[in-house]
Amino acid sequence: MLINHHRTVRWRKWNRAVAVVSVFAVLLVLGLSLFLILRNNTRRPALSTSDTPSDLVPLTLLRNANLTGAFCLDGSFPGYHFQKGFGSGSRNWLLHLQGGAWCNSIASCSERKATNLGSSKYMEQEVNFPGILSSDPSQNPDFFSWNKVVIRYCDGASFAGRPESEFDNSTQLFFRGQLIWEAATDELLSLGMSNARQALLTGCSAGGLATLIHCDDFRDILPKNAKVKCLSDAGFFLNENDIAGNHTIESFFHDVVELQGVSKSLNKDCVAKKDPLKCFFPQEFTSSITTPVFLVNSAYDSWQIPNILVPLSSDLGGDWSKCRLNIHSCSPRQIGILQGFRNSLLKALSDFLQINGGVFINSCFVHCQTLAETWHGPAAPKINNKSIAESVGDWYFNDKIVQQIDCPYPCNPTCDRVS
């Protein structure tokens, strides 16, 4: 009996020990689960080159491309990257039109169709969203929680080409930029954009030009009571002669418009008054846009200087070989010519400024500033102690007249961070 009694006591003690260990294990599992849930619900930081695939935004091909005839240059389906909004931004939409120059001939368009700027076959399947597309409020304080979309650029005419210009089927080129714009926005409307409360159309470079071309179209397809505005980044291309006196950029744009049948997509007020071939230049039609517009541009744009002001064809002696690529390598005489280019920009903007158009014109040697650290944060250039993001925020949300125009190069020390 005594042995059985001891066994019973030991058995009870062992059972209590097992129970304690079991409870501890359950609590440990619950605590670990709670930690994982809280960690996963924490807002992700801004995307970087070290992001894991789960942090990247996947490519979606247009579902209705085959029915609408909206094809890339090579006939493949266009695509977009969509990151769903959350919280207070769940009914707000930001559309970004990708840039990447243009093609102005059968030869250049044929080359382009074998790249990610002419075919979805070569597009990255996942991309990160920096700057104005970031989901990190420290990098993107006003738009971080919005629905954000990047529409991929694969037509070579700022989303404005038309199929009527496909005069020779043997080239196997599709000039469908206008149809891509229409098909992409139709699909996004079906995904919730038709209920947008606030919306912003943006674009960089050739996409910035496309933003200006389609700004009023964007306003027209959204609810009448929605707040809709447009932001063009580095899209105000000047119709300026190069240093040799040649009309290099005008001739180039003329060929783009002619080749891809862009005229019918351009601002109707401009086309009614001027040669349609001129109306591809923003200075000819930006003041006619009825939707509020904000322009982000450098007065010394690092694409426009080597391609519009000093193309290689204008510098046969090589005197500008260093300066055209790096403003810090320019001589005083060359800086004087660059100041003249800045003056031409401000003159071209005069009508737009008179109607209270929003601008952030800095003196940095840079091209496209909304998709990088130049948008906001410690590395961002500033005018009157305001970053681009802060200036755009004042204009968009507070409806302020924001016209930030920098002093001439090299007066702004914050430009040293980026140029």
- Digitized pLDDT (tens) for each residue of the chain, 419 residues in all: 333 333 333 434 334 443 433 433 433 333 433 333 333 333 333 333 333 334 699 999 999 899 999 999 999 999 999 999 999 999 999 999 999 999 999 999 999 999 999 999 999 999 999 999 999 999 999 999 999 999 999 999 999 999 998 876 567 899 999 999 999 999 999 999 999 999 999 999 999 999 999 999 999 999 999 999 999 999 999 999 999 999 999 999 999 999 999 999 999 999 999 999 999 999 999 999 999 999 999 999 999 999 999 999 999 999 999 999 999 999 999 999 999 999 999 999 999 999 999 999 999 999 999 999 999 999 899 999 999 999 999 999 999 999 999 999 999 999 988 86
Q: What is the pLDDT of residue 30?
A: 37
CB 260 within 8 A of CB 177: yes
How far is it, in rounded angstroms, from Cα 207 to Cα 159?
Answer: 8
End-to-end Cα distance, the chain: 92
Burial 185-224 (b: 16+ CB within 10 A, else e): bbbbeeeebeebebbbbbbbbbbbbbbbbbbbebbebbee
All domains of the chain, ordered by start, with CATH? 59-417 (3.40.50)
Could you tell me which of 95, 132, 71, 91 has the C-alpha nearest to residue 219? Answer: 95
At 306 the three-state DSSP class reads helix
Could you tell me which of 368, 364, 216 has the C-alpha nearest to residue 296? Answer: 368
pTM: 0.87
How far is it, in rounded angstroms, from Cα 237 to Cα 278?
Answer: 12
CB 254 within 8 A of CB 277: yes
How far is it, in rounded angstroms, from Cα 157 to Cα 205?
Answer: 12
* Apex 335 CA angle, 330 and 339, nearest 5: 150
CB 37 within 8 A of CB 29: no
* Residue range 260-302, pLDDT digits in tens: 999 999 999 999 999 999 999 999 999 999 999 999 999 999 9
At 201 the three-state DSSP class reads strand
Bridge partners of 150, per DSSP, are 81, 96
Pairing of strands 79-83, 147-151: antiparallel
| Per-residue tokens: 329 | 């390598």
Q: What is the pLDDT of residue 226?
A: 98
CB 223 within 8 A of CB 282: no
Catalytic residues: 205, 301, 367
Q: What is the pLDDT of residue 417?
A: 81
CB 364 within 8 A of CB 410: no
* Residue range 54-93, pLDDT digits in tens: 469 999 999 989 999 999 999 999 999 999 999 999 999 9
Q: Spell out the alpha helix ranges (H) of 130-243.
A: 177-190, 206-221
| Residue written as token pair 């009870």 | 12
Q: What is the pLDDT of residue 56?
A: 92
Q: What is the pLDDT of residue 171?
A: 74
